């Protein structure tokens, strides 16, 4: 049935147009993907390939007293067994692999546990065998003697007096100062602006609440995989599914104590990552097994392994106290945010705390952050890590304040909205940002004034993410037929082959289809940081822009040489090279490309950048929910996502990012959680029991792309991959409150929670 | 001179001052000069000549990956913040 809409479901509020940027060409990798020919890590095969399997801890917290691998080694078909001892290093140096600094011992122990198993699923030993079944059978023959210890799986329990301690030598650090307290709290920090006590004294209304968000997984469809070949020449080649081939290379170099020049990492196609495919898990084990056997070793996680042994994002506890005057001015806000790091320090609480109050121009505020270890897998990034946890709390408190002040929740946000020049509670001031424009787009959208049905409620919320720059490299080479080869080191998760190629095409004045992008291995391109932090279209796109400028300059010089005129007298616009003074002297990019071989040789351009000028992104949601009053089942009946993206290079992929982030946020709000048993294990480590929303559960997610150009990028790009997951959880909580009259303070807000809160 | 914002948990080193004007054209010079005026900052902020891994530096609102090497303008604002762990 075709539904007729009385509004535009996908709007682009563009402020500047280009020839290629902002159009919607077919993605360059589309044919390979839809025909099933794209090669993923699990497709990898080579002669003499061995298959690996991992023994994982059945206990959430246990001391490892001994490991006996003799029976496994004796099984016919088994080629090698490795444990943590095979790393051959006990260094505890501090290393930074692009995810913040951490101890090398912790990195190593997360790959293969040495003295303690710190979560159920923690890898203990690896086996390589002639086939996967033999490897699995051998894993079952490894005998481990454990001293089982009591687990702790929430930040509140982990911070409590007398809690089981995960690391005997972990002492709380307070922004560079180590305290003497052995604790599960790895770090405490504080942001402070103004004087909150004075601010609360001015308030007419104060709201104070506690909120809890559960641990959730990114839920990428492709499990982790890795194949490693430690060659006889001492070089290691790794093929894997990763968001950052260079990050894998650098991690392997640290873990295996070898130079980066001896490691080559080939990124295979990736079936989703969302931040979870930045750390290494299988790669070092496959490498150790390959070193022992001389053969390539391939390892693939099961779904249960993915849930129990890769990195989810954090569960959290938070407290928010917010005060405002009767005219809607927020006078003070106090936030405490404690985030699970998992088994080793390094939760996303730093980012969450910086984002917590970013949407508001508040005179008086404090944010205290706590990084807390618990007996769960070490957390990894997940779209705007930490920010959804903070927003679930702050955006509900703001909503409740609006209700108590009898104000429209968008108008309250507009009255207090952060803008260019606003000093954030964490200190720095904002450059040009588009929160006001995003809120105005929300207020003016037909969705916000549409009638609402019985048992339905409408909620709104906003969220902020910084986005990042970091290093990127791009090479361009002009073919004789006028097409251009583009090589890059950025894994393409969400259509970035297209968004990067389009920026080169815009500079060169040629169609996007004439630029052929390839993601290449670490031996074939300059250093490129991870595809993460919403940086790829911004930073790698910038590298493509610079490389294209180099090609453009050389094309102008070549035309000038052919015409025997000064290069300053030649221009290149929209793919046509012409003399500024002689209209007879003109040729297209293709015509000149055909002459390169006979006029001095090929032309190529290269650029390595580490750009500043990063532009943060604000996102907002309007969501309508309908709650069955008997069962508490919630249906999202209408959802509109708004985001200031700076400039949408390829609007279709921007819309896809906004829709994807929204759906993941909806899942976090309504259904998803690590359901932990008393022994500290996850009880729902299958996709049947871990309930992610599917297309059958949801309406079409409408999108409004707001374009407030980032002055720090040639085309105004901000980055789009993350801010969109922040507002859904509080927007849904706010909608549920209006549908049921009851506010929920903990995710998931599932039928059990809704009926319990309503006293049924 | 650049304006250096002191995090609340470090203000006991700066005699309670939350903002201090410090001379310096790079983050390294700022840290050295801050430490000369208020001893202890260098140890809190750096290790082995580099900014500690769990601390990041923001110049004029933008976190820099260059750490000690980042240029600082005469009118710049310098903030020391917790590093964005978790794979931001």
Q: What is the pLDDT of residues A238-293, one digit of tens each?
A: 999 999 999 999 999 999 999 999 999 999 999 999 999 999 999 999 999 999 99
Average of pLDDT values for A122-151?
Answer: 98
pLDDT of residue A93: 84
pLDDT of residue A6: 82
Question: Does B48 contact chain A (CB < 8 Å)?
Answer: no
8 A C-beta contact, residue A267 and residue A273: no
Q: Is the pLDDT at B88 greater than 90, yes or no?
A: no
Name, in order, each residue with C-beta under 8 angstroms of A136's C-beta and a sequence gap of 6 or more.
A53
Question: pLDDT per residue over B3-55, tens digit each?
Answer: 999 998 899 999 999 999 999 999 999 999 999 999 999 999 998 899 988 88
pLDDT of residue B86: 45
8 A C-beta contact, residue A44 and residue A58: no
Q: Is the pLDDT at A560 greater than 70, yes or no?
A: yes
Q: Domains in chain A and their CATH numbers? A: 1-17+431-466+614-760 (3.30.365.10), 472-609 (3.30.365.10)
Q: What is the 3-state secondary structure (H, E, C) of A211-237?
A: EEECCECCCCCCCCEEEEEECCCCCEE
Question: Does B62 contact chain A (CB < 8 Å)?
Answer: yes
Question: Does A174 contact chain B (CB < 8 Å)?
Answer: yes
Q: Where does the pLDDT of residue A175 fall: very low under 50, low under 70, confident under 90, or very high at 90 and above?
A: confident
Contact residues on chain A for B80, CB-CB shorter than 8 A: 175
Residue length, chain B? 88
Mean pLDDT, chain A, integer: 96
Side-chain-side CA neighbours of A195 within 13 Å: the count stands at 4
Average of pLDDT values for A344-358?
Answer: 95
Nearest-by-CA chain A residue for B54: A101
- Do residue B86 and residue A192 have CB atoms under 8 angstroms apart? no
Nearest-by-CA chain A residue for B64: A612
**Regarding predicted confidence, which is higher, A595 or A103?**
A595
Q: Is the pLDDT at A500 greater than 70, yes or no?
A: yes
Q: Is the pLDDT at A143 greater than 50, yes or no?
A: yes
Q: Is the pLDDT at A159 greater than 60, yes or no?
A: yes
Residue in B18, B60, B72, B86 to test binding to A, most A beta-carbons within 10 Å? B86
Residue in A427, A612, A613 to test binding to B, most B beta-carbons within 10 Å? A427
Measured CA distances, A620 to A35, A269, A365, B44 (Å): 36, 31, 22, 38
pLDDT of residue A49: 98
Q: Among A92-101, A270-279, A646-655, B16-25, where is mean pLDDT lowest?
A: A92-101
Q: Is the pLDDT at A664 greater than 50, yes or no?
A: yes
pLDDT of residue B87: 40
Q: Where does the pLDDT of residue A554 fall: very low under 50, low under 70, confident under 90, or very high at 90 and above?
A: very high
Cis peptide before A748 (omega within 30 of 0): yes
ipTM (interface predicted TM): 0.91
- What is the reported pTM? 0.96
- The strand ranges marked E within A326-465 are 330-342, 365-373, 456-465
Q: Among A137-141, A428-432, A562-566, B64-68, where is mean pLDDT lowest?
A: B64-68
Q: Is the pLDDT at A677 greater than 70, yes or no?
A: yes
How many angstroms separate the CA of residue A339 from the nearest CA in chain B? Answer: 11
Q: Domains in chain B and their CATH numbers? A: 2-82 (3.10.20.30)
State the Cα–Cα distance between residues A453 and A450, nearest whole angstrom: 10
Q: Where does the pLDDT of residue A91 fall: very low under 50, low under 70, confident under 90, or very high at 90 and above?
A: confident
């Amino acid at each position: 049935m075709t539904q007729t809409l009385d509004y535009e479901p996908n709007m682009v509020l563009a402020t500047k147009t280009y020839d290629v940027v902002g159009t919607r060409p077919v993605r360059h990798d589309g044919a390979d993907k839809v025909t099933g020919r794209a090669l993923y890590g699990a497709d990898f095969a080579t002669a003499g390939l061995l298959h690996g399997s991992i023994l994982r801890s059945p206990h959430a917290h246990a001391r490892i007293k001994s490991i006996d691998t003799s029976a496994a080694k004796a099984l016919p078909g088994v080629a090698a067994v490795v444990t943590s001892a095979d790393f051959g290093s006990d260094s505890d140096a501090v290393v930074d692999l692009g995810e913040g600094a951490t101890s090398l011992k912790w990195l190593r122990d997360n790959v293969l546990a040495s003295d303690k198993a710190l979560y159920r699923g923690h890898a203990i030993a690896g086996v390589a065998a002639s086939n996967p079944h033999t490897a699995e059978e051998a894993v079952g023959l490894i005998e481990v003697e454990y001293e089982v210890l009591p687990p702790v799986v929430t930040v509140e329990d982990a911070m409590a007096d007398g809690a089981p301690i995960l690391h005997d030598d972990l002492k709380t650090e307070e922004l560079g100062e180590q305290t003497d307290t052995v604790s599960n709290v790895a770090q405490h920090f504080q942001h402070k602006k103004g004087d909150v006590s004075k601010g609360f004294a001015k308030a007419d209304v104060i709201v104070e609440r506690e909120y809890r968000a559960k641990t959730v997984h990114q839920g990428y469809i492709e499990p982790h995989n890795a194949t490693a070949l430690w060659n006889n020449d001492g070089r290691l080649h790794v093929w894997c599914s990763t968001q950052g081939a260079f990050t894998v290379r650098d991690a392997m170099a640290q873990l295996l104590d070898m130079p980066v020049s001896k490691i080559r990492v080939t990124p295979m196609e990736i079936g989703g990552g969302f931040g979870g495919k930045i750390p290494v898990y299988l790669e070092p084990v496959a490498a150790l097994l390959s070193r022992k056997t001389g053969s390539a070793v391939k390892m693939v996680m099961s779904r249960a392994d993915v849930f129990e042994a890769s990195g989810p994002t954090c569960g959290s506890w938070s407290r928010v106290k917010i005060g405002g005057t009767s005219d809607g001015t927020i006078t003070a806000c106090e936030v405490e945010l404690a985030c699970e790091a998992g088994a080793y320090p390094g939760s996303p609480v730093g980012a969450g705390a910086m984002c917590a109050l970013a949407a508001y121009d508040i005179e008086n505020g404090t944010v205290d952050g706590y990084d807390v270890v618990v007996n769960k897998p070490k957390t990894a990034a997940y779209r705007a890590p930490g920010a959804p946890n903070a927003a679930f709390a702050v955006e509900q408190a703001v909503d409740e304040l609006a209700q108590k002040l009898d104000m429209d929740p968008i108008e309250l946000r507009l009255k207090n909205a952060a803008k260019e020049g606003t000093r954030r509670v964490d200190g720095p001031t904002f450059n040009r940002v588009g929160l006001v424009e995003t809120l105005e787009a929300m207020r003016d959208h037909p969705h916000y004034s549409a009638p609402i049905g019985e048992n339905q409620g409408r909620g709104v919320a906003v969220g902020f993410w910084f986005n990042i720059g970091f290093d990127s490299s791009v090479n361009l080479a002009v073919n004789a037929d006028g097409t251009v080869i583009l090589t890059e080191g950025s894994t393409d998760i969400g259509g970035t082959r297209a968004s990067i190629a389009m920026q080169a095409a815009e500079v060169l004045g040629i169609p996007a289809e004439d630029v052929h992008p390839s993601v290449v291995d670490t031996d074939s391109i300059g250093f490129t940081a991870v595809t993460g932090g919403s940086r790829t279209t911004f930073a790698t796109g910038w590298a493509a822009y610079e490389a294209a400028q180099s090609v453009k300059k050389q094309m102008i010089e070549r035309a000038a040489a052919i015409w025997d005129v000064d290069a300053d007298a030649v221009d290149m616009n929209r793919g046509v090279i012409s003399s500024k003074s002689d209209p007879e002297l003109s040729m297209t990019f293709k015509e000149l490309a055909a002459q390169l071989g006979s006029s001095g040789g090929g032309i190529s351009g290269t650029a390595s950048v580490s750009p500043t000028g990063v532009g943060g992104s604000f996102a907002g949601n309007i969501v309508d929910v309908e709650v069955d009053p008997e069962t508490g089942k919630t249906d999202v009946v209408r959802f509109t996502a708004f985001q200031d993206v700076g400039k949408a290079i390829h609007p279709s992929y921007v819309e896809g990012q906004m829709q994807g982030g929204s759906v993941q946020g909806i899942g976090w709000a309504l259904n998803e959680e690590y359901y932990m048993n008393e022994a500290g294990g996850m009880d729902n480590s299958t996709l049947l029991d871990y309930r992610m929303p599917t297309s059958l559960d949801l309406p079409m997610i409408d999108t409004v792309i707001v374009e407030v150009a980032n002055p720090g990028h040639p085309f105004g790009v901000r980055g789009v991959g993350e801010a969109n997951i922040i507002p859904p959880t509080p927007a849904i909580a706010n909608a549920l409150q209006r549908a049921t009259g009851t506010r929920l303070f903990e995710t998931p807000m599932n039928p059990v929670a809704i009926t319990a809160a309503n006293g049924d | 001179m650049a304006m250096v914002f002191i995090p609340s948990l470090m203000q006991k080193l700066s005699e309670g001052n939350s903002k201090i004007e410090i001379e310096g054209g790079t983050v390294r010079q700022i840290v050295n000069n801050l430490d000369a005026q208020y001893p202890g900052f260098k140890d809190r902020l750096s290790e082995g000549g580099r900014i500690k891994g769990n601390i990041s530096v923001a110049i004029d609102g933008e976190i820099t990956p260059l750490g000690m090497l980042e240029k600082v303008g005469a009118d710049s604002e310098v903030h020391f913040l917790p590093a964005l762990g978790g794979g931001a």
